[in-house]
């Protein structure tokens, strides 16, 4: 990945004719653009400009514009995943396995929505990949984290095995819809207090609707 120039930690890539790590630099620049203006802002010309390189140079590393955008989408999705794992790590394992499992399910949702609010442009970009990703792809994927949380719920006895199939789509739909409505939908512009109350209500609905947890108030 490091092709020599920056091997000494020297950042004077400018002085060199060869960049050394242009592909990554372009993807990073693309992510910055996506952060500001969403997927539509990710253009070959803008990314090359940000890196300080000619648009043509990008074609050494990407076959076309779609290839760059796809790479940026993957990065955005990875950031979403790491937001979820960050929230999952804050969940302490309590005495009650069922309660712990429910808290872990809730954490996946909070990590998802928090990322959407903190990085709306990247969130939108994460879901604009041209090719449809296989939902079951990789353990380090939002969907995989959700599946695991639901399986834990079954293992803890808080969700009947009969109700387990397809439950992932209920949780995912609710949390994804919440994020979309808050970030780019009619619920953008909600004040923090209202927003937090809405988030809590939606998560309660998911817990109640999936696992039969009594509704909090």
Interface ranges with DNA (CB under 7 A): 3-5, 16-20, 22, 43-46, 49, 52-57, 59-61, 64-66
Q: CA 214, CA 204: separation in Å to the nearest integer?
A: 9
Q: CA 196, CA 143: separation in Å to the nearest integer?
A: 24
| Closer residue to a second copy in complex, CB, 9/214 | 214
| Closer residue to DNA in complex, CB, 60/188 | 60
- Going by C-alpha positions, the residue among 111, 21, 37, 129 that lies closest to residue 75 is 129
Cβ 179 to a second copy shortest distance, Å: 8
Q: What share of the chain is helix, strand, coil (3-state, %, to 5)?
A: 65, 0, 35
Which among a second copy, DNA, none contacts residue 45 (Cβ within 5 to 8 A by kind)? DNA
Which among DNA, a second copy, none contacts residue 53 (Cβ within 5 to 8 A by kind)? DNA
> In this structure, how many other beta carbons lie within 10 angstroms of the beta carbon of residue 133?
14
Which among DNA, a second copy, none contacts residue 156 (Cβ within 5 to 8 A by kind)? none
| Closer residue to DNA in complex, CB, 55/138 | 55
3 state SS of 129: coil
| Closer residue to DNA in complex, CB, 28/43 | 43
For tokens 């076309």, name the residue: 64
């Amino acid at each position: 990945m490091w092709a020599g120039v920056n091997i000494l930690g020297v950042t004077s890539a400018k002085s060199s004719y060869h960049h050394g790590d242009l592909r990554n630099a372009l993807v990073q620049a693309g992510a910055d653009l996506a952060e500001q203006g969403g997927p539509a802002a990710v253009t070959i010309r803008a990314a090359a400009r940000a890196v300080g390189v000619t648009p043509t140079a990008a074609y050494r590393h990407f076959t076309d514009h779609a290839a760059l955008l796809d790479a940026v989408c993957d990065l955005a999705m990875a950031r979403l995943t790491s937001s979820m794992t960050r929230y999952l790590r804050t969940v302490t394992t309590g005495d009650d396995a069922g309660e712990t499992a429910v808290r872990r399910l809730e954490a996946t949702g909070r990590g998802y929505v928090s990322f959407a609010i903190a990085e709306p442009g990247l969130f939108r970009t994460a879901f604009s990949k041209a090719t449809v990703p296989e939902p079951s792809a990789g353990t380090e994927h939002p969907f995989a984290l959700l599946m695991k949380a639901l399986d834990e719920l079954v293992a803890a006895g808080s969700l009947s095995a009969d109700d387990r199939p397809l439950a992932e789509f209920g949780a995912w739909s609710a949390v994804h819809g919440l994020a979309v409505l808050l970030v780019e939908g009619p619920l953008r512009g909600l004040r923090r207090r209202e927003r937090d109350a809405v988030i809590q209500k939606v998560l309660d609905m998911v817990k109640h609707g999936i696992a039969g947890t009594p509704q909090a108030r």
